[in-house]
Structures are given as structure tokens and as C-alpha cells.
Structure 1
Amino acid sequence: MTVPDGKPELLKAQYRAFSRQLPLMYLILISNTWIVAATHMAVAPTWLTTGVPAIMTLGCGVRAVHWLRVRSAEPTPEQARQALTRTNYLSSIIAVAFTAWSLMLFPYGDAYTKSHVVFYMAITVIACIFSLLHLRSAAITGTVIVNGAIVAFFASTGEPTFVATAINTGLVSSGMLAILLINYRDFTRMIDAQVEAARKAKEQHRLLRMIDDMPIAVMTLDPATFVINFANETAKRTLGTIEGLLPVKADQLVGTCVDVFHANPQHQRRILADPANLPHHARVAVGQEVVDLQVAPIHDDDGSYIGPMLSLSIVTQQVAAERRIRQLAHYDVLTGLPNRATFRDRLEASLARPESRGGLLLIDLDGFKMVNDLRGHLVGDELLRQVAGRLQAARSRAELIVGRLGGDEFAILVEDEEVGGAAALATELIAELGAPYTLGDDRHVQIGASIGIALIPGHGREAERLLSRADMALYAAKAVGKGTYRTFSPGMEIRVQERVRLEAELRTALVECRDLFVFYQPIVCLRSGRVTAREALARWHHPQHGWVPPSEFIHVAEESGLIDRLGTFVLDQACREAAGWADGARVAVNISATQLGKGTLIPAILTALAGSGLPADRLEIEVTESALLSEAFDCIADLRHAREIGVRVALDDFGTGYSSLAHLRAFAFDKIKIDGTFVRDAVERPDCAAIVGLVADLGRRLGVTTVAEGVETAAHLQLVTVEGCFEAQGYLFSTPKPSERDAPLVAALEDRLEILNAAGTQTAIV
């Protein structure tokens, strides 16, 4: 029964309703009061028919004027609450005053005037109830006071007519109160609904403002018509950059059908019409541009589908970058061919077919490294591109999958070909890849190719096994002289297994320091006949296979990473042995290409010298020309550091490399060793003799000692002496022999070897 609090909008709505209704209520009260007073002026006292109505008229007039004055004002919730509270109180006062006046006036006059009073009270209270309808407490108070008084008064008279009037009034009052409560409830619900609608509208407006200012382009659609009904500013700016490709301007998006973005509108409509298809992501080509669309469903509070919301962006550059990334991930950057991973995937996909057959070709370029090192990587890259072009050209004649596995190694998968087809292709490719290449500035380069073949399904149906077996065949092709092909055979796998076993056994020998020896071959001064140096040569006696050729186990050591350990072993043994030589000869130790430029050689040399006490100038290290060709490490720096600590440096196998003069200019060697192949053929071949003479003359001019290797006969000795060599080395002077300390053990091993050979139990090393 109090004024509702906590609902400011309801208070203001009641206030506005009263500002319109209460002036009319007061007018009804004033007019009805004076009409009743007029009918009783002849029968009732003047104070009752004139004085009291005048006072009530004054009070009602004041209130009516007040409400008329505030009719256009918009009150605050507090002002509305105070005004309604006053009205609540005043409604009780007015109800009591007018009811009391009416009952005092009732006894006067005849039945007609009395019935007028009853009618006045009934009709006036109805008017007041409807005027106070929007304030439940005031309306109920007025009804209870007025009608309660009527019912009580007339029921107490005992007159049947008045009693009936009392009953009718009570019934009408009950109905009016019910109607009052229903209308008040509907009024409050309407106000609450309006408040909620205003709140939602405000939130929606705020949300739209936020969406409008978002850096993401957003649009919403009518799901029935597919017409764009909202597009934020970002969407307009985004599409404004490509509006030349659209049939509509960016600022005219709202009201336009979304079909303008899709070449197949029906497909797009099917997706957008059904929320079950959402969320949905698509990229749509608009001319040369790519638009990325993200579509999400919008649902109402009750879960009903309102429509789709689209966010969009121009991703042309992103798509290009993604394509580039995919290209880099799956294709070789230099040649454009599938890279190793992609080629392997395609190989596995081909092998997954039950009926698949064909051949896998691994191609390695012969001589490419030399071109790359001598002419630079730019020339090497161009050469690889032309090789890839020739391989791709072969695809026009057969169903091929071509890939670059890395470096100068390529692979080709020949599908649905018989054995002869893969071999014929290999022969054809060797010829094509061996033809001259024209590079920049009309430079011509010629290289070769070796190919290993594994057949499908004969050599396997697993990618890893096929690649491994094709690699074995390639290794075999290169071993027989390059420029040819070999098809895998079981014997190749056996040899690989033997090599793996040999590596393991060499590793064990190095760890346990057994069965490894250092033999020494003298280098003789041709003028004095004195031994000036002895070359230290590694030897390995295998318990089952006997002496393993150095060319085999040193190659294994280089490929397996054991060469540093083997080189350290030879250095230590050679320095310790040389420290005890009475003739003071130097010791020469061969250094592998794989030992240079890694930062391990100089520490090994210093350790060997310190451990043996050998002076640094009595140690020579020999390097081949090929060891100096690698650009991966700074090999010359190691040689310079060795020279700085007093170690002499010799260039071994001179003449067999590709840039000898350049190396002589890059580093001042102490000694040049002429390769034995030239010396051995020099007696019968003038060209070889000329080479020996030229190198000897070059050594004299450079002030470098020249050593002729491979001197095996007196004729060889005479020739190298005539040609001007300073020193010589070969079987004519001595074969490599073990040290005095190892000689008894070596002799025992050789005796045992003879016994085993005689018994036929010695197996050959592969």
C-alpha cells in the first residue's frame, strides 16, 4: 500500500500518468460537488451547501493547478516518488472529506435529493478510481474509504432498498478492485517491458557502436532474404579497397544481397540459411583479390536463430604467403622440384597401390662439387637449375616423379615401367646430363651423372628400403668409375653390411688400441743418399681377415667420423717413434681432408709433440690438393697455424687436383710431392716425364723441395734425378716397414697369416 520503490522508470511513468489524469479528477470532483450542493441549497444549511464545497473546491483547485503546471516536466525518480507519496496521503484525506460531506448532506431533502447523494458518491468514486488507477495504494484507499462508508452506512439503515444498494455497492467495489489490480499489474508489466526493451535497445546500440568501431570487418544478414542489414565501418573500409571489383559501392552494402560476394550464390545461400551449417569458413576469390569469410550463427535468448554474422578480411597477401610457405615446405627453392619430404610422400603414395611397379632412380652428379668450388655457388646454382630442367624435360616422354633430395642428388620415380624401362631411362639420362651446359657469359661446363636403380616390387615395397637400396646401387655405380648406372643386387647389401661391420671393428680397434700399427717408408735425398724423412703409414691387421688395405679402412674412417681418432693415433705413434731415431730424420704424417678446419688438428699436433718431446721442425704434415677445395671450413688457417708452431707442411699427390697453382699461391708449402702415377709412367710416356720436369722446375723457382713418389726401378731413379727432383720415395729404396718395437709382433702376425692361408681358413675383407 506504499509507493513502489526501486523502480525509477515505474515512478516516472506513474507521475506522468497522474499529470494527465488528476486535473481531470479534480474537475470531476469540483463539478459533481457543486451540482449536489445546488440540489440541496433549499433544504440544507448554507454552511453545508456552500461553505464546505467552497473549501473542498479550493483544495482541489490548488492540486489541479499543480498537476497542470508540471504536466510537461520530466521528474527525477526522487521527485516522482515524493509527488506520488503526497498523492497517496491526499487521496485518503479527500476520500474521507468528500464521504463525510456526502453523508452529512444525505438526511436533508426528499427521496430524490437523497438518491442524488447516493448517485454522486457512486459515480464520483468510480471517476476517482479510474483517475488513480496507476497508483494502486491511492486507488484502493479511496475505494475502501468511500465505498466502505457507503456499504456500512446504508446497510445500517435497515431499509431494504438501502441494504440492497449497500450490497450492490460492495459487489461493484469488489469487481472494481479486481479490475484495478489487473490493470495495475498490466501497467507495471508494460513499464517493466518498456524498461527492458529500452535496456536491450541501449545495449544493442552500445554493442553496435562497439562493433562499428571494431578493427574487424563485420556484417549481419537477414536469413530469409540474404540482404545485408548491418555493416560496420571497418567492413565498409575493407571492401572499399576492392569495391572496383564489386557490383556495389562499399557505402551501399546495407540493403544489398550477399550474393555479390560469391560466384555460386545458391551454394552460399544453402550454407547461410541453415544454422546447422555454421560456423563456416570460406575464402572467396573476387577478381585478383581473396576475401576470407568467417560465418557464425546468432541466436536469441530463447535459442531461436536470428541470422548469420559474417566477419571478413582481404587476405590476398596472406594467401600468397601461405602458398609460398607451402612451396618452401614441399618444393626445393632452387629448382622448383619436390623436395626430399614431398618426393618421399609421393613415393609412399605410389607404393600404396597394390599393383604398383616401376623403378626408383637416384642420381648423383659427377664433378659438380669441383665446378661449385672453382666457379662459385652462383654458377653451381645455375648448373643445378639446368640439370633440373633436363630432368623435367624427361617427363614429357614418360610418367615420372622428379625430386631433389639435396645437394647434387636427385631422384626419379618411374611408374608402371618394366626393368628394361628404368635401365633405358638411366642410360638416356646419363647421356643428357653429361652433355655440355652453357652458363652465363657463354661459359661451358660439362659434368657427368651416376645412377642407382631399385625396382618395384622386386627390391621392396617400402619407401625407406627402396631409397636405401637405390643408394647402394648408386654407390656401386660411382665405385666403378662414375658416369654409369647400376641396378641393385643382393650382393650390394652384403657389401654394405660388411662395411658396417668393418666400421664397428675399426672403432673397437681404436678404442682398445690393438691390431693397429704405424709403418714407415723412407724419403731419400737424391744428392747425398741420406734419409731425410720417413712417411708414417697406418696399417690394420684384422684378426680374421688379415691386413686390411689402407684404401678401405681409411675411407671407412673418413665416412664414419673415426678419422680424427685414427689421425691422433698415428700422430702420437709417429712422434714417439721419431723422437728415438738416431739419424734425426723428420717424420711425415698424412692428414685427411676431414681433419682440417674443425679446430681439432692443432691441439692433436701439440699434444703429440709435447707427449713425445719431438721438436716441431721434425714433424711434417702432408695434405692433398682435394683437401684444400672445401669451402665449408678454413683449411688454410689450420696449415698456417701449424707453420707458426714450427711444423713443416707438404702438398701431397701434386698434379692430380684441379687448382694446384692457386694453392701454391695461397700457401707457401715446404715440400711438393709429385704423384707416383706420373713417375711410374714417365719412363715410357714423354708427357708424364714432362710433367715431372715441370713440377721439379716449379719447385726450384719457388724454393720448395720436390719429392718424386713411386720410384720403384733404377730407370725411375735416373729420370727423376735428371729432371731435377730433390728427394725420392718408393719401393726402390724400401717398402713401408714397422718400427723396431712392433717388428716382432708384425712378424708373428704374418707367420700366423701364412699358416691360415695354407690351411685355407683366411677370409677376404670386402
Structure 2
Amino acid sequence: MVGPPVIARLAASVAALFATQSRNPELLRERRIALSRMVPLLYTILIANTWGLAVTFIGKAPSLVTFYIPVVLSLVCCVRLVQWWPRRNVVPPPEVITRELRSTDRLGVLLSAWINVWCFTLFPYADDITKGHIAFFVAITLLSSMFCLIAAQSTALIVASLVGMANFIFFMMTGNANLESMAVTLFVVTLAAVVIVITQNQHFTHMVNARTEARQKHEEQGRLLRMIDDMPIAAMTIDPASFVITYANKAAVRLVEQLEHLLPIKASELVGTSTDIFHAVPDRQRRIIDDPASLPFHSRTPLGNEIVDLQLAAVTANDGSRIGLMLTLAIVTKEVEAERHIWHLARYDALTQLANRSTFHEALRRHLEARLPAALLFIDLDGFKLVNDTRGHRAGDRLLVQVADRLRSICEAPGASLARLGGDEFAVLIPHSEDADARALAVRVIGLLSEPYDLDPGQVRIGASVGIALAPEQGETGELLLARADIALYAAKSAGKGVALVFAPEMEARIQERVLLEGQLREALQDRQGLSVFYQPIVSIKTGQVTAREALVRWYHPVRGWIPPSEFVPVAEQSGLIDALGEFVLTTACRDAALWEDGARVAVNVSAAQLGRDLVAQHILSALVNSRLAPDRLEVEVTETALLDEGRDVIGDLRRIRALGVRVALDDFGTGFSSLAHLRLFPFDKIKIDGSFVKEATSRPDCAAIVRAVADLGRRLGVTTVAEGVETRAQYACVREEGCTEVQGYLIGRPAPNGEEDELEMVDSCQA
């Protein structure tokens, strides 16, 4: 039993046979042209066959059938021919052709109906002979019409179906053996004609589609060639068998013109030349080309003073077979130079041309992986920041270049690696080196780097400290060896700079203690446990009254006891805790000072690390508001070293503090750089003379002269001068005699918690 899917497929197949539309417009046009060529022959055959049959029945059948119907048919055919003639060479658009083919189908139905009706009308008037003539007319007309309508397959099949089937049935029903035999023959021939029509139509369709596809491919190839020819990339096609260039676009010709002085041919001779001209070793390139697995292939070939980039790829057919090769060329000399420059920048320091950190780490890793003994020298310049700050970064750069040149001159051991790790830090890896050799080299480095440098104008001196770590006993990895060399360097700087130290385990222990101290200080700041503020009085020499008290931070650790500020304040500065520590001291000092009955000012030290970030003024304002302390009762003390950092707006911070009504004092005057310039940059309210001058003023005339000069300068500027570090009555008498305004020191009063002072009695005894 035939199912619905089979019936649906059969119906679709039949519909396809009678379809007039096509997805290929070219096929529609070719069908129309072929049909147009057959139209005169079709109409001629129809007229001839019609009159041939009509003449046979003249006198036997009515004139309507034998004369008027043929005349009408002839007129219709002539009219159609007249209409066809002007349009015989015109190819309309595809949609018009589709409408014409549908119209042809309708004419096929009318033609079939006419043949059937006319023949059936003539049949009663026919004898045995003329009946055979009718059958002959049907066969000839049917077959000739089908063959003339091969280009319009649907119309030919309509005629075959309507005429062939109708006459087959009609003749089979006559009961005439001859006609029945002719009907069977006509049926078989009609079937054969249908097969021929369908087959020829398929061949015609295949031929047109193939021609269309070929033309499209040709057009695509033409467009592709035009595109390739206009491409800015130099491209050539190569015959894979002979390695001969078969095509070269305009860009390739222009590129070869630039290389003509390096090639044995001219650009005009490029096509037809072997690709061997681009290779120093042609045989190697040919072997690569012969191996399909090596493609695509990319190489950069030096050609004289130029570098040519060659990229070779296979051109394959639809079945994957290789039909050709595509070669692209480019002159990449500048690009290669830029890549080399970038590679150099990635591996070497741009200023000193020494290896950079990453390159040194790589060399260190390779050496340690070989398990060879080595010494790592970690070098840091002493005093470089001062030169950089006072003379400018350009002078600092020139100084670093000279340092690198000096290091190159003495770090010449075979296999040695020298690098600038960053800033003013350098490293040297000496292979096969022992402790004594490393120390000797470090001493030479320190001595050479400590000699004067010519920096126009004038000369400068700096120093160097060196930390040494030995491999493999002090580190089997680059990170560990560098870390321990850094620890040794830190110890060398702490020991007074200008020295070289080899790593020792106790150095690492001290670093760990410092890290532990930092963590404990952080916890103390968070919990406010153990931290307190002591106050040391500052008194007027003239009146003996306490004018101010300097706030000094103190830290009592439950295990270690009292930790000196000289130990934990630098830790706070280096770890970033100085802001929190300074805010604690400032807040506590303002709150305590607000309760003092004598109305003395409170002096608070501000670290250099706190200045230049526009934060100190905000903290001061907050502390004054919360404590309700008058701004003129607060003094902020800054050291000269804080003013040396040109990278931050320290003076701007001081001006903002002054704008709040707070006094500003210059601490440790005389120990910094260009002190008089600082007095000119900012109008300080107070100058504190460093205790080192005061201590020796009674025994050294030069120190007494400095105290006297500063006191005189303060008097002329209208600035208060404070002598720090007064510990004896002789020192007190000296600074009073030299003209200092105020005095501070253990003689006057030691730092003590708030409310535990005895300075007035000591002042009275001094004045007595």
C-alpha cells in the first residue's frame, strides 16, 4: 500500500516537471531564446499539417470544418508570428520570461484542445483511409509540437498529456483493429518523446547551469585578480612544479623595483622568473615548497642591506589538491629594527644600557639551575637622592650613566652579569666566586663609586653600600638570593653606609624583628594600647615662664617595656603607619593642651612623610575643632629634610597650616641643606637650633658662633629661636649669653606624662 509520503514525493516530482520558474535567471533566458527560435517552425508545421488534413476532407465534411477552422488557425498563427518578430532578439527580465512561459502553457492547453476537438469532429466523415490520415495527423502534430517545445518542458508535457492520452483513449474505443494498433504505437512513441523531452531538457538545464557557473567563476576570478592586482600587498602566484612566477600584481612589481639593485633581474622580467632569486639557498626553499606539510611557510630573508618578509601558502582546488602557490613579499627592514629595539628595551635599561631586572632574574635563574657557586652583590647608592633633588633629574640621570660605566669597568669576570634593578639600585652576579673574592670586589665597587663625578657645573660625591649573598649556601633560588642580598644591604646601610656586608642569619632575624615590631605597632595604633604622649617644656629665657611644651610619643610594650621612638618612628615612616601615629599624637596633644591652666602652646612634630599630600592641614583642623583648642596655641614642627622633596608640595602644606592660624617652627636648624633658602621660602615663626651645636657650644668656639649667628638671624627676622638639648647650667648660660629666646632640654625638664612636670623649679634654679 502506497503511503502518504510516497504520494507527496510523486506529486512533488510531477509538479517539478511542469514548473516554469527557475532559480537561475540565465536558464530562463536560454529557454526563452531556444523557444523563440522554434516558434516559426512550430507555427509552420501546424499550418502545413492542418491544411494537409483539411484538403483530404474537402467535399466530405462541412466547409466550417474543412475551410473556416483551418483559416482561423492559420490567421492565429500568422498573428502570433507577427507579434513574435519584433521581439525575437529581445531578452526580457526573468519575471517577464516566467509570465511568458506560463502563457505558453495556456496556449499549449488551447492547442491540445483544438487538435482533439477538430480531429474528433472530422472522424465521423472519414473512411478507413482518412481515419488513418487523422491518426497520422495527430501523431505528426503531437511529436513535432513536443520537439519544438522542448525548451518549454511544461508546455510540451501538457500537449503530450492532453493530445496523446485523449487520442489513445478515443482510438482504442473505435473497435477498429488498425486504429487500436496505431493508438498503441502512438502511445509508445509519445512516451518515448516525453522521455526525450525530459532528457533533453535536463541536458539543456545542466549545460546552461554549467555555463552559468563557469561564467560566474570566470567573473569571480577576474574580480579576484583585479582585487589582487590592486592590493597594497605584493603578491605573486607560483607554478609548484617549476617554481616559476606566473603572475605578479602591481604592488609586487613596485616592490621588486625597490630591490632591483639587489636582484639579478629587473622588475619587468619578474613574471617567468624562478623564485630562487629571493633566496640565498634556493635548494632549501625548494625542499620546503615540495613538502605540503611545511605550508604555509613564513621566513625573513636578508637581501643585501634589506630584510624581505616572505610568506608562502598553497592554493587548493575543491578536492584539496594543490593547484598553485601564493607568495607575498614585504620589505620589513624598519619593522625588524623596531622589533629589535623593542626587544632591547624589554631586556635592557634605557638609561644605562645595563640589563634590567627581568633579564637579570633570567640570568640568575639559569646560573642557579646549573648549581654553580656564585656571589650576588646588591648595590645601593648613598646620597643619590640628595643629588637628584637638588640638581634635578637630568643631573641624576647623568650620574647614573657614569655609575654604570664605572661598574662595567670593574665587573669584567667571565660570565658576570651586571644589571640596574631600578632607581639607584644595581646588582652584580659573579660566577665561581667565594666570600673573600666577593668582599674584595665589593670594596673596589664602593671605592670606585665614591670618587668624584663631573656634573657640569662642578663635581659631586656620592657613596655606595653593598649587600652580598652567596649561592648556593645562602639561597638556591633567585628570589631568595636577592632577598638575602637585600637584607645584607639594609644591614650595611644601618651600619653607617659605605660598607659591604655578607648576609648572616642574624640579619634576617633583625628584619623579622622589624616586621614583628611593625605588626605590633599596627595593633597598638588600632587598639590605642601602650601609646601615650609625653611633654617636654620650652621656657622663655627672659621670663622663665613655660611658653610651650613639645609633644613626644612614647610606646610601652607589655613584653619589651619602653620602646624608644628612634626604633619605632622610622618603622612607622617606612610602613605607612606614620599618618595614623601622627594623627594620634596631634589629637592627644590638642586635647591635653586645652586643659592646661597656664595657656602654654603645644608643639607637635610632623614627619616629612606626612607632608606634601594635602592631609596634614585637614587633620590639624579636625583636632582643633574636636579639642576646642585655639589655633594660635598649636605649633607644628618640621625638619629641614622635609623641605628637600621637590616632588611634593611641602611649602603648600605649610601655607595651608599657617592659614588656620597655627604656628610653624623649623626644627633641627643647621643640620639640613641650604637653611637660609628655606627661611626665605617660608616665614617660620620659630627656629630650633639643633642640640648638637648647643652641646658643644661651651667647648668649641665654632659651635658657639653658629648659635650666636642663628640667634642674631632670628632677632633680625623677628623669629623666636629655641636652643635644644640644654643639659647643663653652663650650656644654659652660653645660649642665654648668645641671645637665644627660648630653651629646651633635660636641664629645664624631661619629657613626662601630662600633669607630671617639675620644670618651673628647675628654671628658677637655673636663673638663680
The CA RMSD measured in Å over matched residues stands at 5.6
SS of alignment partner, residue 501 of structure 1:
helix
The reply on whether 1:390 has 2:422 as its aligned counterpart is no
Shift in Å at residue 730 of structure 1? Answer: 3.3
Tell me the equivalent position of 2:365.
348
User: 2 CA distance for matches of 1:576 and 1:163?
Assistant: 135
User: 1 CA distance for matches of 2:686 and 2:160?
Assistant: 132
Which one of 330, 355, 358 corresponds to residue 374 of structure 2? 358
CA contact (8 A) 1:92 1:138 kept: no
The reply on whether 1:672 has 2:687 as its aligned counterpart is yes
User: 2 CA distance for matches of 1:91 and 1:243?
Assistant: 74
Shift in Å at residue 358 of structure 1? Answer: 1.2
Paired residue type of 1:712: E
User: 2 CA distance for matches of 1:687 and 1:550?
Assistant: 30
CA contact (8 A) 2:693 2:704 kept: yes
The reply on whether 1:245 has 2:259 as its aligned counterpart is yes
Q: Deviations over 1:695-722 (max 9, x none)?
A: 3333333333333333334443454444
Shift in Å at residue 515 of structure 1? Answer: 3.1
Shift in Å at residue 478 of structure 1? Answer: 0.7
| Residues 1:222 and 1:741: Cα distance change in structure 2 (over 3 Å) | same
Tell me the equivalent position of 1:420.
436
The reply on whether 1:455 has 2:447 as its aligned counterpart is no
SS of alignment partner, residue 602 of structure 2:
strand
**1:10-89 map, 5 Å:** 10=27, 12-17=29-34, 74=91, 77=97, 78=99
User: 2 CA distance for matches of 1:729 and 1:119?
Assistant: 146
CA contact (8 A) 1:400 1:414 kept: yes
Which one of 519, 532, 535 corresponds to residue 504 of structure 1? 519
Shift in Å at residue 447 of structure 1? Answer: 0.9
| Residues 1:164 and 1:601: Cα distance change in structure 2 (over 3 Å) | closer
User: 2 CA distance for matches of 1:346 and 1:67?
Assistant: 92
Which one of 732, 738, 743 corresponds to residue 752 of structure 2? 738
The reply on whether 1:446 has 2:461 as its aligned counterpart is yes
Shift in Å at residue 726 of structure 1? Answer: 3.5
| Residues 1:555 and 1:650: Cα distance change in structure 2 (over 3 Å) | same
The reply on whether 1:537 has 2:552 as its aligned counterpart is yes
| Residues 1:15 and 1:741: Cα distance change in structure 2 (over 3 Å) | closer
Which one of 403, 422, 425 corresponds to residue 406 of structure 1? 422
Q: Deviations over 1:530-573 (max 9, x none)?
A: 54444333333333333322211221222222223333333344
Tell me the equivalent position of 1:630.
645
Shift in Å at residue 661 of structure 1? Answer: 1.7
User: 1 CA distance for matches of 2:457 and 2:536?
Assistant: 49
Q: Deviations over 1:729-749 (max 9, x none)?
A: 334x245241364689xxxxx
Shift in Å at residue 671 of structure 1? Answer: 2.5
User: 2 CA distance for matches of 1:663 and 1:512?
Assistant: 39
Shift in Å at residue 654 of structure 1? Answer: 1.8
User: 2 CA distance for matches of 1:33 and 1:610?
Assistant: 125
CA contact (8 A) 1:519 1:736 kept: no
Tell me the equivalent position of 1:605.
620
CA contact (8 A) 2:109 2:162 kept: no
Paired residue type of 1:189: H
User: 2 CA distance for matches of 1:35 and 1:531?
Assistant: 151
Which one of 652, 658, 662 corresponds to residue 647 of structure 1? 662
Shift in Å at residue 468 of structure 1? Answer: 1.9
User: 2 CA distance for matches of 1:129 and 1:621?
Assistant: 117
Tell me the equivalent position of 1:437.
453
CA contact (8 A) 1:3 1:135 kept: no
The reply on whether 1:197 has 2:231 as its aligned counterpart is no
| Residues 1:488 and 1:119: Cα distance change in structure 2 (over 3 Å) | same
Greater Cα offset, 77-86 or 710-719: 77-86
User: 1 CA distance for matches of 2:100 and 2:234?
Assistant: 44
Which one of 717, 721, 737 corresponds to residue 706 of structure 1? 721
The reply on whether 1:188 has 2:202 as its aligned counterpart is no
User: 2 CA distance for matches of 1:597 and 1:447?
Assistant: 26
CA contact (8 A) 2:238 2:247 kept: no
| Residues 1:602 and 1:135: Cα distance change in structure 2 (over 3 Å) | closer
Point out where structure 1 has 5 or more consecutive residues left out of the alignment. 41-46, 109-117, 745-766
Tell me the equivalent position of 2:7.
none
CA contact (8 A) 2:549 2:600 kept: yes
Tell me the equivalent position of 1:515.
530
SS of alignment partner, residue 478 of structure 1:
helix
Shift in Å at residue 506 of structure 1? Answer: 2.4
User: 2 CA distance for matches of 1:541 and 1:178?
Assistant: 115
Tell me the equivalent position of 2:740.
725
Shift in Å at residue 282 of structure 1? Answer: 6.0
The reply on whether 1:589 has 2:586 as its aligned counterpart is no
SS of alignment partner, residue 455 of structure 1:
strand
SS of alignment partner, residue 636 of structure 1:
helix
User: 1 CA distance for matches of 2:377 and 2:29?
Assistant: 91
- Across the two proteins, how many residue pairs are aligned to each other? 728
CA contact (8 A) 2:150 2:156 kept: yes
Paired residue type of 1:185: Q
User: 2 CA distance for matches of 1:614 and 1:135?
Assistant: 111
CA contact (8 A) 1:219 1:229 kept: no
| Residues 1:122 and 1:652: Cα distance change in structure 2 (over 3 Å) | closer
Shift in Å at residue 474 of structure 1? Answer: 0.6
Q: Deviations over 1:375-423 (max 9, x none)?
A: 1112112222322333344454442333333322222333343333332
| Residues 1:306 and 1:394: Cα distance change in structure 2 (over 3 Å) | farther
Q: TM-score, normalised by structure 1?
A: 0.75
User: 2 CA distance for matches of 1:92 and 1:728?
Assistant: 138
Shift in Å at residue 61 of structure 1? Answer: 10
Q: Deviations over 1:272-293 (max 9, x none)?
A: 6666556666666776576585
Q: Deviations over 1:292-316 (max 9, x none)?
A: 859586552x555555667777777
SS of alignment partner, residue 570 of structure 1:
helix
Paired residue type of 1:425: L
User: 2 CA distance for matches of 1:605 and 1:168?
Assistant: 123
CA contact (8 A) 1:534 1:585 kept: yes
Tell me the equivalent position of 1:617.
632
Which one of 387, 410, 418 corresponds to residue 371 of structure 1? 387
Q: TM-score, normalised by structure 2?
A: 0.75
